[in-house]
């Protein structure tokens, strides 16, 4: 197999197979491959696309999907996403608008449906996280939005992975968490450019979540070509 030496590192040539009709897809920034990744049930995940758009899910090269949305979670949505996706789905089960036993039931249903893990929002109580941990065997991803979150209590309650989503402060928050928890799995938002993504990885994030453009944004250029034609 052919190899290249780049910055004193051996880089192996990776053959790539592309199609004609499916060549137009969303490719995530290559810098995300610098992350260590998180192994979940034997699958190494370095990049996650933050979307519930099935058309985007079928046409993006992310390792997994972070399917969290600002509505009450519904099992039919989880089932549709898991069925359509070629990669693992980590689905939202509430914790913000949706609370209590409903979160536990949604998490249990998500596992039965085939989701690789569940995501709970920042307001979710530690008691609910503990109850979800007792009910399911798949990972629980707990969203962290600020330095005020008690990370130790989250981990004790049953968090499997932390999902740092602190906007422009995400890298700083990852860095702070990593100083105290050197090996705990962390997913974090990396921003839109390579510099901010690399900064988040160097801060200690094991995997990066990326928000792809909407179908309306993607279709804008195509529509302009159609109008010109």
Give this prediction's pTM: 0.88
Query: Do the Cβ atoms of 47 and 208 come closer than 8 Å?
Result: yes
Query: Do the Cβ atoms of 118 and 107 come closer than 8 Å?
Result: yes
**Residue-range domain boundaries for the chain:** 43-212
- Give the β-pairing of 9-12 and 3-6: antiparallel
Mean pLDDT calculated for residue range 90-103: 86
Both tokens of 192, joined, read: 């839109």
Mean pLDDT calculated for residue range 61-90: 95
CATH architecture classification, 43-212: Alpha-Beta Barrel (3.20)
Question: Given this model, what pLDDT does residue 5 score?
Answer: 57
Mean pLDDT calculated for residue range 4-25: 70
Question: Given this model, what pLDDT does residue 3 score?
Answer: 56
Sorting pLDDT into bands at 50, 70 and 90, what band is 16? confident
Query: Do the Cβ atoms of 87 and 65 come closer than 8 Å?
Result: yes
Question: Given this model, what pLDDT does residue 184 score?
Answer: 98
Whether the predicted pLDDT of 1 surpasses 50: no
CA dihedral 9, 7, 31, 2 (to 10 degrees): -50
Question: Given this model, what pLDDT does residue 207 score?
Answer: 98
Where do the DSSP E strands lie in the chain? 3-6, 9-12, 38-40, 43-45, 47-50, 64-67, 89-92, 117-120, 140-144, 161-164, 186-189, 207-210
pLDDT tens sequence across 148-172: 999 999 999 999 999 999 999 999 9
Mean pLDDT calculated for residue range 75-91: 96
Number of residues that this document lists for the chain: 229
- Percent of the chain, pLDDT > 90? 75
Mean pLDDT calculated for residue range 210-228: 85
Whether the predicted pLDDT of 9 surpasses 80: no
pLDDT tens sequence across 166-218: 999 999 999 999 999 999 999 999 988 899 999 999 999 999 999 998 888 88
Question: Given this model, what pLDDT does residue 20 score?
Answer: 72
- Percent of the chain, pLDDT > 70? 93
């Amino acid at each position: 197999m052919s190899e290249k030496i780049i910055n004193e590192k051996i880089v192996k040539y990776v053959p790539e197979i592309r199609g004609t009709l499916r060549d137009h897809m969303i490719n995530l920034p290559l810098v995300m491959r610098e992350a260590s990744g998180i192994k979940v049930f034997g699958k190494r995940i370095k990049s996650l696309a933050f979307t519930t758009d099935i058309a985007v899910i079928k046409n993006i090269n992310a390792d997994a999907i972070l399917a969290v949305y600002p509505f009450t979670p519904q099992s039919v949505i989880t089932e549709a996403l898991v069925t359509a996706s070629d990669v693992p789905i980590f689905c939202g089960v509430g914790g913000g608008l949706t609370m209590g036993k409903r979160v536990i039931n949604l998490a249990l249903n998500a596992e039965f449906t085939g989701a690789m893990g569940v995501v709970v929002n920042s307001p979710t109580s530690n008691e609910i996280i503990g109850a979800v941990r007792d009910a399911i065997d798949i990972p629980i991803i707990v969203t962290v939005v600020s330095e005020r979150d008690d990370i130790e209590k989250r981990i004790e309650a049953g968090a499997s992975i932390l999902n740092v989503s602190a906007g422009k402060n995400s890298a700083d928050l990852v860095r702070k968490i990593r100083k105290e928890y050197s090996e705990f799995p962390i997913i974090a938002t990396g921003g839109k450019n390579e510099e901010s993504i690399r900064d988040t990885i160097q801060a200690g994030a094991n995997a990066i979540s990326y928000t792809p453009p909407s179908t309306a944004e993607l279709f804008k250029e195509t529509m302009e070509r159609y109008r010109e034609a």
